[in-house]
């Protein structure tokens, strides 16, 4: 059998070309070229001007497309379908951040309930004059009456329920705008009182209540002999009454003595509160420049691992039991950006541990200026101070005496202070420093205990 065969010729493939040519052809499909001839007004010659316009195809919602067909009016009656910067402007984008609880649930303020009440017509007006509800301030029938008439018109001092939550009495008053926190600014200190005067507290109460209402009264007495210690603290309801007491009774003759009356210092009030309560807990601040070893000092004292320590970007709180005392350590970050926020931790501080990197000689001047600024704070005026010349295990470190001399601690008169050469890595002198600090605080506060 014979087999017939024929040659099949395949078509020649088109050249692929380069990828750059493909991009150019795609770009040319989205462009429009306009060429026109003009007469240059400066030279009078004919010039050819070529404009290449990029064609953009945009998909928009159907509602927007319908809106663009609306008939325009006013100044835009002859405007085409183009942006109108003088008429239509885009506002600023506002980002909403929803506050959530620790479980990830969204928090809702009480204002949401108030908005619902507006829709229901259940909003209760509260008058700023008589502090009662039911009418607006402008319609108050007592708006021409002096404020003294409203002393007996007070809201309930009991706790209340709002939105299923219990509101304490003081918080309830503050929300109504009439509650006022007791302020230490209204406290005066009376000194140079006779020690053996009987019924001195009754006499002082009668004297100082003549200028205003007394909120708190404290006369210091010896625990064993019950004799007066020669000083007292009196807190008034407002600053005006406190100033009147100072004006009237300062340098006032009492028995054979001349008593002194002045505004009390914030640090003394902290001491007074602890003296009365006989507290056994101490609030200790760990402060210093960044990278001085504050967190390592605290961890070492607590017996925790110190191999992996990261910078404190805020604050950390640790509690330890030491010789029957509860020590609350507040480790506050020392970065320059965080130092302005230190003062938020000064209230009721009993002691300060100022940690210095004794090997960082270049920043000792910065350390000195920060410490001086710190000791000027009224809230720390009676806090005990211990300075740790930390990182003493390094060869380039300075001694405790050298650090004390550089910081001029021998010239310090406002605080009782002592410097220790310590190493947070080895634990050198840490217990000795904490022990000295606790003993000094106890000697000031726990008198007779």
Residue 335 is among the residues annotated as catalytic for this protein: yes
Q: Which DSSP string do the residues of 10-29 spell out, in sequence order?
A: PPPPPP---HHHHHHHHHHH
- Whether 395 maps to a domain, the answer reads yes
| Model pLDDT for residues 359-375, shown as the tens digit of each residue | 888 889 889 889 888 88
CATH number at residue 328: 3.40.50.300
- CB environment 146-174: b (16+ within 10 A), e (fewer): eeeeeeeeebeeeeeeeeeeebeeeebbe
Whether residue 289 is annotated as binding a ligand: the answer is yes
Q: Tell me how crowded residue 436 is: count the other CB atoms within 10 A of its CB.
A: 17
Whether residue 222 is annotated as binding a ligand: the answer is no
Same domain flag for 168 and 308: no
Same domain flag for 375 and 352: yes
Mean pLDDT of 18-24: 54
Whether residue 199 is annotated as binding a ligand: the answer is no
Alpha-carbon span 285 to 269, nearest angstrom: 18
- Whether 171 maps to a domain, the answer reads yes
- Whether 292 maps to a domain, the answer reads yes
Same domain flag for 292 and 349: yes
Same domain flag for 314 and 402: yes
Same domain flag for 152 and 238: no
Which of 124, 156, 180 marks a domain boundary?
180
| Model pLDDT for residues 243-273, shown as the tens digit of each residue | 899 999 998 888 888 898 988 765 555 555 5
Same domain flag for 159 and 222: no
Number of domains into which the chain is organized = 3
Same domain flag for 397 and 288: yes
Specify the pLDDT at position 220. Answer: 86
| Model pLDDT for residues 34-47, shown as the tens digit of each residue | 888 888 888 888 88
| Model pLDDT for residues 54-96, shown as the tens digit of each residue | 888 878 888 888 888 888 887 777 777 666 666 666 666 777 7
Question: Which one-letter DSSP state was computed for residue 313?
Answer: S
Same domain flag for 256 and 400: no
- List the single range of 115-119, 198-202, 291-295, 304-308 with lowest mean pLDDT: 115-119
Whether residue 80 is annotated as binding a ligand: the answer is no
Strands 351-357 and 417-421 turn out to be unpaired
Same domain flag for 304 and 439: yes
Domain that holds residue 208: 184-264
Same domain flag for 297 and 204: no
| Model pLDDT for residues 327-362, shown as the tens digit of each residue | 888 888 888 888 888 887 887 788 899 999 988 888
Same domain flag for 316 and 242: no
Which of 215, 236, 264 marks a domain boundary?
264
Whether residue 163 is annotated as binding a ligand: the answer is no
Mean pLDDT of 1-24: 56
- Whether 39 maps to a domain, the answer reads no
Which of these is catalytic: 122, 321, 335, 373? 335
- Whether 138 maps to a domain, the answer reads yes
- Whether 113 maps to a domain, the answer reads no
Same domain flag for 318 and 259: no
Alpha-carbon span 336 to 315, nearest angstrom: 14
């Amino acid at each position: 059998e014979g087999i017939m065969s024929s040659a099949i010729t395949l078509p020649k493939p088109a050249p692929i070309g380069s990828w750059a040519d493909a991009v150019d052809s795609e770009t040319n499909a989205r462009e429009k070229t306009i060429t026109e001839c003009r007469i240059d007004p400066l030279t009078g010659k004919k010039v050819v001007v070529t404009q290449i316009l990029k064609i953009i195809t945009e998909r928009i919602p159907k509602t927007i497309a319908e809106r663009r067909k609306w008939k325009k009016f006013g100044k835009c009656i002859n405007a085409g379908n183009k942006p109108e910067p003088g008429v239509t402007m885009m506002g600023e984008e506002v980002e909403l951040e929803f506050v959530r609880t620790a479980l990830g649930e969204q928090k809702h303020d009480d204002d949401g309930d108030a908005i619902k009440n507006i829709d229901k017509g259940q909003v209760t007006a509260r008058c700023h004059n008589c502090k009662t509800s039911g009418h607006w301030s402008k319609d108050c029938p007592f708006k021409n009456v002096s404020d003294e008439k409203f002393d007996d018109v007070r809201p309930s001092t009991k706790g209340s329920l709002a939105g299923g939550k219990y509101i304490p009495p003081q918080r309830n008053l503050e929300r109504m705008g009439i509650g006022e926190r007791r302020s230490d600014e209204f406290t005066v200190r009376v000194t140079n009182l006779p020690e053996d005067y009987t019924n001195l507290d009754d006499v002082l109460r009668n004297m100082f209540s003549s200028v205003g209402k007394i909120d708190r009264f404290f006369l210091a007495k010896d625990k064993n002999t019950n004799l007066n210690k020669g000083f007292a603290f009196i807190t008034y309801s407002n600053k005006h009454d406190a100033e009147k007491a100072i004006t009237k009774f300062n340098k006032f003759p009492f028995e054979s003595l001349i008593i002194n009356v002045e505004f009390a210092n914030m640090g003394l009030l902290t001491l007074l509160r602890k003296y009365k309560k006989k507290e056994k807990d101490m609030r200790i601040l760990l402060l210093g420049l960044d990278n001085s070893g504050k967190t390592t000092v605290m961890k070492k004292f607590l017996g925790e691992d110190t191999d992996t320590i990261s910078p404190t970007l805020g604050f950390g709180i640790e509690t330890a039991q030491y010789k029957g005392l509860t020590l609350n350590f507040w480790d506050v970050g020392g970065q320059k950006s965080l130092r302005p926020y230190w003062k938020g931790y000064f209230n009721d501080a009993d002691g300060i541990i100022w940690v210095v990197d004794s090997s960082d000689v270049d920043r000792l001047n910065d350390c000195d200026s920060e410490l001086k600024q710190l000791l000027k704070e009224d809230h720390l005026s009676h806090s005990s101070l211990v300075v740790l010349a930390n990182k003493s295990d390094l060869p380039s470190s300075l001694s405790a005496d050298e650090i004390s001399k550089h910081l001029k601690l021998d010239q310090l008169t406002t605080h009782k202070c002592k410097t220790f050469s310590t190493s947070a890595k080895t634990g050198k002198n840490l217990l000795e420093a904490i022990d000295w600090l606790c003993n000094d605080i106890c000697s000031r506060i726990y008198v007779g205990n």
